[in-house]
């Protein structure tokens, strides 16, 4: 039996440990007060991201909640015990992303060289000066001429998707269009990046489809926690030696990429895909992308591309099902212009102005990466104030909140592509609409992503009418564990042949 003295001693040690942890996790809580910066009063152990720690809200919703609680141009908050700054003022955002970029060239996300050799070499994770060097060499991969060549590969996948829907989806009363868009983007990236036909429409259990679903499976708490730590609490990810890309996924993608490269070199057959482009870059620069660096870029394009594009297509179909008038107008444009250009292709998509407006409006309501993060490289004086942000302070820009702020977009909850008409587009204030970021560290694959989204939507809408069902919610619920915006429990819709 436990003695009374032992219980007293145990309680004493528990209290001491609790007090020690409390003092440690609150040691920085006067940081913003001492700098005369307005800030949200934090809670011990969790700071101002209580719902984020418990994964009750997506990260976009957490930053939106902070944004909507104040009208200050910037405000301090805490992630656990770490002082961070949230930016609300478009002019200050411009300074961080462009004008004063030399002070904010790195992202806050962890670059884990010790434990994760694949992600550490990805362009998204790289720190300066490595980032600048690799970015300059990869940029030509996504030139207009290269994307036009790759678009021919994507067109074949679009037709495969239509064939699949005609044979299978029409038999069901509801279709999970998130799953369909995921298969489409997996096949697109498989053919355009890895140079292989994944055939996920023919085989739902194909390896690339399995890897895609595993990479960002927000329903898996461990996956969601690991990725959140990389973005928000890098020290925890580093302390517990977490890997951003699941080792099973990383090993498969690396093995596949290297095998495909070897076969391509041996066969000397060109497909005009990303493999060919990267091989050409490597040939021209013997020191370029040695070892895991080359593999990392291919893995990054796969990981970043399928999740963002598939979610955007699913969000678009949801809105078009809710607004049949907009859908009909868009279909008329697709039919008219594709008829002039002998089908849906790179040239016809360039002429589809209303499709472009619809995609821009989808990205306004649902920016898939709903926040931007930066980290101060030096102490930074905020212009017009006496505030100095110390080096290594995380700075966050809440994209989802800016895109849904009624000061910048009237009735932001309403899906209205006319916001982006030629007349209205010029009235949008700069640095409040940034679905792909802005400045030197904007999304390098933005044009490729938009092309894939437009092509996928055009193929679907030319052949099918998309309708809501009894399972379709008027307002989309985001997966609360997600770092990116992703619909919770799929996207159930009905398809009717045109």
* Residue 136 clears pLDDT 60, i.e. is over it: yes
Which DSSP string do the residues of 30-62 spell out, in sequence order? THHHHTT--BPPPBTTTBT-HHHHTT-S-HHHH
Give phi and psi for 305, each to the nearest 5: -75, -45
Per-residue pLDDT tens for 373-432? 999 999 999 999 999 999 999 999 999 999 999 999 999 999 999 999 999 999 999 999
CA distance 97 to 357: 25
Angle at 94 between CA 89 and CA 97, to 5 degrees: 120
Q: Which among 59, 313, 302, 358 has a CA at the least distance from the CA of 179? A: 313
pLDDT score recorded for residue 365 = 98
32-48 average pLDDT score: 96
Asked if residue 375 lies in contact with residue 232, where contact means CB atoms within 8 angstroms, the answer is no
CA distance 47 to 26: 9
Handedness of CA 308, 311, 316, 319 (dihedral sign): negative
| Percent of the chain with pLDDT strictly greater than 70 | 97
Question: Across-strand partners of 333?
Answer: none
CA distance 290 to 123: 14
Name the least confident of 87-101, 152-166, 290-304. Answer: 290-304
Per-residue pLDDT tens for 288-347? 555 678 888 888 988 888 889 999 999 999 999 999 999 999 999 999 999 999 999 999
pLDDT score recorded for residue 138 = 84
- Sort 100 into a burial class: Cβ within 10 Å, 0-12 / 13-18 / 19+: middle
pLDDT category at 438 given cuts 50, 70, 90 is: very high
Name the least confident of 125-139, 153-167, 283-297, 398-412. Answer: 283-297
pLDDT category at 279 given cuts 50, 70, 90 is: confident
- Fold held by 4-497: Cytochrome p450 (1.10.630)
pLDDT score recorded for residue 58 = 96
Asked if residue 79 lies in contact with residue 109, where contact means CB atoms within 8 angstroms, the answer is no
pLDDT score recorded for residue 105 = 96
pLDDT score recorded for residue 496 = 92
CA distance 116 to 113: 6
pLDDT score recorded for residue 390 = 97
93-110 average pLDDT score: 97
pLDDT category at 11 given cuts 50, 70, 90 is: confident
* Residue 8 clears pLDDT 90, i.e. is over it: no
Q: Which two tokens stand for residue 340?
A: 């002039």
pLDDT score recorded for residue 271 = 77
Name the least confident of 48-62, 287-301, 435-449, 467-481. Answer: 287-301
Q: Which two tokens stand for residue 275?
A: 């493999």
pLDDT score recorded for residue 192 = 85
Q: Which two tokens stand for residue 223?
A: 């996956």
90-105 average pLDDT score: 98
Instruction: Mention every residue, 6+ apart, whose C-beta is less than 8 A from residue 66.
Output: 40, 48, 75, 77, 86, 398
pLDDT score recorded for residue 257 = 87
| Percent of the chain with pLDDT strictly greater than 90 | 74
DSSP state, residue 390: P
Q: Domains of the chain: which residue ranges?
A: 4-497
CA distance 434 to 442: 9
* Residue 484 clears pLDDT 70, i.e. is over it: yes
Q: Which among 457, 466, 462 has a CA at the least distance from the CA of 323? A: 466
CA distance 83 to 376: 12
Asked if residue 422 lies in contact with residue 401, where contact means CB atoms within 8 angstroms, the answer is no
pTM over 0.85: yes
Asked if residue 486 lies in contact with residue 307, where contact means CB atoms within 8 angstroms, the answer is yes
Q: Which among 374, 402, 378 has a CA at the least distance from the CA of 390? A: 378
pLDDT score recorded for residue 489 = 86
- Sort 368 into a burial class: Cβ within 10 Å, 0-12 / 13-18 / 19+: buried
pLDDT score recorded for residue 198 = 87
Per-residue pLDDT tens for 179-205? 999 999 999 999 987 888 888 998 878
pLDDT score recorded for residue 288 = 58
* Residue 178 clears pLDDT 60, i.e. is over it: yes
pLDDT score recorded for residue 291 = 60
What's the mean per-residue pLDDT of the chain?
92
Helices (H), 68-143: 90-94, 130-138
Q: Cα dist. 194→191, 255, 257, 284, 368 in Å?
A: 6, 11, 6, 20, 23
Name the least confident of 28-42, 89-103, 279-293, 351-365. Answer: 279-293
- Give the pairing type, strands 394-397 and 82-87: parallel
3-state SS, one letter per residue, for 405-426: CCCCCCCCCCCCHHHHCHHHHC
Q: Which among 158, 121, 160 has a CA at the least distance from the CA of 293? A: 121
Question: Alpha-carbon Rg of the chain, whole angstroms?
Answer: 24
* Residue 2 clears pLDDT 70, i.e. is over it: no
């Amino acid at each position: 039996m436990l003695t009374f003295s032992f219980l007293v001693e145990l309680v004493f040690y528990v209290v001491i440990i609790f007090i020690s942890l409390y003092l440690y996790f609150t040691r920085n809580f006067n940081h913003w007060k001492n700098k005369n910066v307005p800030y949200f009063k934090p809670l011990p152990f969790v700071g101002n991201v209580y719902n984020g720690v418990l994964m009750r809200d997506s990260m976009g919703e957490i930053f939106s909640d902070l944004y909507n609680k104040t009208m200050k141009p910037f405000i301090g908050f805490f992630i656990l015990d770490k002082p961070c700054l949230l930016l609300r003022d478009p002019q200050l955002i411009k300074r961080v992303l462009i004008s004063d970029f030399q002070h904010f060239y790195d992202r806050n996300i962890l670059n884990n060289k010790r434990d994760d050799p694949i992600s550490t070499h990805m362009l998204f994770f790289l720190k300066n000066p490595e980032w600048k060097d690799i970015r300059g060499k990869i940029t030509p991969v996504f030139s207009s001429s290269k994307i036009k060549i790759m678009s021919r590969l994507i067109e074949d996948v679009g037709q495969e998707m239509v064939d699949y829907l005609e044979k299978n989806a029409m038999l069901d009363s509801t279709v999970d269009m998130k799953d369909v868009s995921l298969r489409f983007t997996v096949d697109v990236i498989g053919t355009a990046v890895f140079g292989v036909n994944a055939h996920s429409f023919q085989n739902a259990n194909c390896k690339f489809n399995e890897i895609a679903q595993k990479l960002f499976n927000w329903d898996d708490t461990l996956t969601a926690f690991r990725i959140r730590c990389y973005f928000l609490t890098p020290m925890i990810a580093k302390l517990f030696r977490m890997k951003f890309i699941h080792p099973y996924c990383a090993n498969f993608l690396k093995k596949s990429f290297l095998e495909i490269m070897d076969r391509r070199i041996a066969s000397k057959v060109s497909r005009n895909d990303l493999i060919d482009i990267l091989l050409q870059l490597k040939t021209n620069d013997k020191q370029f992308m040695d070892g895991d660096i080359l593999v990392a870029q291919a893995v990054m394009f796969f990981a970043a591309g399928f999740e963002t594009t598939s979610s955007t297509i699913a969000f678009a179909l949801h809105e078009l099902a809710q607004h049949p008038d907009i859908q009909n107008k868009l279909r008329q444009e697709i039919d008219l212009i594709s008829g002039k250009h002998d089908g849906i292709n790179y040239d016809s998509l360039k002429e589809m102005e209303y499709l472009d407006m619809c995609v821009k409006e989808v990205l306004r309501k649902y920016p898939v990466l709903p926040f931007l993060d930066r980290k101060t490289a030096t102490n930074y004086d905020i212009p017009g104030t006496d505030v100095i942000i110390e080096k290594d302070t995380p700075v966050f820009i809440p994209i989802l909140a800016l895109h849904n702020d009624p000061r910048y977009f009237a009735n932001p909850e309403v899906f209205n592509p006319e916001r982006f008409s030629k007349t209205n587009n010029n009235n949008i204030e700069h640095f409040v609409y940034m679905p792909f970021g802005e400045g030197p560290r904007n999304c390098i694959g933005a044009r490729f992503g938009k092309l894939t989204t437009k092509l996928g939507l055009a193929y679907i809408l030319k052949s099918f009418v998309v309708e809501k069902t009894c399972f379709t919610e008027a307002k989309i619920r985001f997966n609360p564990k997600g770092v990116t915006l992703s619909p919770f429990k799929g996207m159930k819709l009905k398809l009717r042949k045109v």
